[in-house]
Amino acid sequence: MKAILGKKLGMTQVFTDDGLVIPVTVVEAGPMSVVQKKTTETDGYNTYVCAFDQKKKNVTKPEKGLFDKAKVEPCKVLREFALDGELEVGSVVKADIFAVSDRVDVIGTSKGHGFSGVIKKWNQHRLKMTHGTGPVHREVGSMSANSSPSRVFKNKHMPGHYGVERVTIQNLEIVKVDADRNLLFVKGNVPGAKGSILTVRQSVK
């Protein structure tokens, strides 16, 4: 599997040779360092622990020991990946592992909207503005029958916390790769706000 950690920088557009405009999301992909190699003998499975986005403050003692052992600068993000090939501790993974026209899945955390009503959260219609439905027109509406079943069914769309969820958008196309600046231009939009952490991996479908 090919995968890399990145940071969402924002959206722009790319022009093709025949004049088409493609909306793209710019992702600062890597450089990502391998800080630990987990094996079947020691941990029961094979993965690489990778680090991204250097930090200078608030490094705990266990983190400092891990980074010092790998001879890597302390980073904010640690993730495990079952990467292809034989990588050594201290190896650096860069954006050039992907090429133009590769298909990828992008994983991120969606924007937070706080406590939201059913119209914003579930795209429901408001109630009629006449015939005695007021004074509230953006409420949930009917909950269920009164005497039978005398309860609200499970999975009923209700107001509540909206956003801040792990979201995966599958089968996106890489339009452009800027290896010098570690940038990936991914067709379409990806989850999360500007500056949020993303995982770009080889598409599973």
158-179 pLDDT, tens digit each: 999 999 999 999 999 999 999 8
For the domain bounded by 3-113+166-202, which CATH number is listed? 2.40.30.10
pLDDT at residue 54, as a whole number = 86
Residue 146: what pLDDT? 84
* DSSP 8-state class, residue 126: P
Domain ranges, ordered by start, for the chain: 3-113+166-202, 115-140+156-162
At 165 the pLDDT is 95
Read off the pLDDT of residues 140-163 as tens digits, 9 standing for 90 and up: 988 888 888 889 999 999 999 999
Task: Answer yes or no: are the C-beta atoms of 64 and 86 closer than 8 Å.
Answer: no
pLDDT number for residue 84: 81
Averaged confidence pLDDT in the chain: 91
160-162 vs 166-178, strand pairing mode: unpaired
Whether the per-residue pLDDT at 134 is higher than 90: the answer is no
Q: Considering the entire predicted model, what is its pTM?
A: 0.84
β-pair type (114-116, 160-162): antiparallel
